[in-house]
Amino acid sequence: MKRSIASFAVGILLAAQGEQARSQQVPAAQEPPQPRVITANQQAMSLDSINADYNRQLLVLERQRLDRLARLASQAAPQDAMAIYEQYFRLAITNNLFREAEPIADQIVRAQGGSPTVRLLAHTVDIVAAADRGAFEESLASLRTAIDQAKQGDGPGSRLDSSSMLAVLEAYFQRLVQADQLGIARSAFETLAKEAKNPAVKAYCESRLKELNLVGSAAPGFKLVDLDGKAVDLAAMKGKVVLLDFWASWCEPSAQELAWLDEVYNRYHASGLEIVGVSMDLSSEGATKESVMPVIRRFVLDHNVRWPILVNAAGPDDLAKLYGVGEVPANILIDRDGKVIHLDLTRRNLISVIGKACTR
């Protein structure tokens, strides 16, 4: 028994000495760990998640600010209250919080008197908020009522600055288009284009109408050369589903949308989807072909864009003018028969609309 225990102890000691000897050996040279390569699309998705989280938190704060402003206005003297309500509605418009501001807007619209500017802001909030909750006919009726009251002198008689008006109109347009309410959108913007006195507002409405009137019609043809010198002929793409994507390298949303365009391209390219990018960089004030071409190529390379890229230019081949595109990002969807079937798709409806088009 003692010999057995002694032998066991010696065994442990020898094993320990062997382990110590091994630990003192110089380890073999190892390859240094390779840095992880992050593609432009992966980086964009990571940035998107960070920005989305920040925007969610910011939205909570903006809602809290609206609540506090509403309480402050309700306790203020009438003249002071109007100044507070003006800030309230402008913040609601800037932050796309139309639904949140709708109850206060209703109060202002029903009340008599008050600041014409505040009443106009309240009317615009009401119109977009109705569309936001799916009451599209109601939103169109509210728009017509506001215009009629203004013409009769009973409604808001002030004029908002161009940037505020354009922000409201863009918000309204996007809600109608994303909900496939193209008929309502056409009626609304026909009315606005007819009644608008502000040249910028009138031009915006006419541009949007041109886009809306394309839906259901044959897509205007073009044959241009892409960045690689290859011909891009829309007629030759008949039988394919084609998404024309208008973008600019300086437009942050254009860069953000490339990640989900890449996703839909991966999913439906084999089913007949083609994407044609149209850079609007040359339309910037003072831009020249020599100055923008390196920027465009760098942008395409950084974001690993795999589809043809055209550079929009003034003249007979101005695709933006041909399709009524006035702002970026914008897109036009063309079906297998060469007809325009949708426009301004977003992450919310892009996959479902394109999926339906590709399976027909």
CA 278 to chain centre: 16
Residue 231: count of CB within 10 angstroms of its CB: 10
Tens digits of residue pLDDT in 255-307: 888 888 999 999 999 999 999 999 999 988 888 989 999 999 999 999 999 99
Lowest mean pLDDT among 37-51, 91-105, 325-339: 37-51
Confidence of residue 150 (pLDDT cuts 50, 70, 90): confident
The greatest distance separating any two alpha carbons of the chain, rounded to the nearest whole angstrom, comes to 116
Tell me the fold of 223-358: Glutaredoxin (3.40.30)
pLDDT tens digit sequence for 319-349: 999 998 888 999 999 999 999 999 999 888 8
| Run of H or E residues at 141 | helix 136-152
The yes-or-no verdict on residue 249 having pLDDT over 90 is yes
Residue-level pLDDT at 217: 94
pTM value is 0.72
- Which pLDDT value is given to residue 1? 40
Residues in the chain: 360
Phi, psi for 44 (deg, rounded to 5): -60, -40
Class in CATH terms, 56-214: mainly alpha
* Fold match between domain 56-214 and domain 223-358: no
Q: Are 105 and 122 in contact (CB under 8 A)?
A: yes
Q: Where do the domains of the chain lie?
A: 56-214, 223-358
What is the secondary structure of 212-271 as a DSSP string?
HHHTTSBPPP-EEE-TTS-EEETGGGTTSEEEEEEE-TT-HHHHHHHHHHHHHHHHHGGG
Percent of the chain with pLDDT over 70: 85
**For the residues 224-243, what does the mean pLDDT come to?**
96
198: confidence class by pLDDT, cuts 50, 70, 90: confident
**What gap in Å lies between CA 195 and CA 173, rounded to an integer?**
17
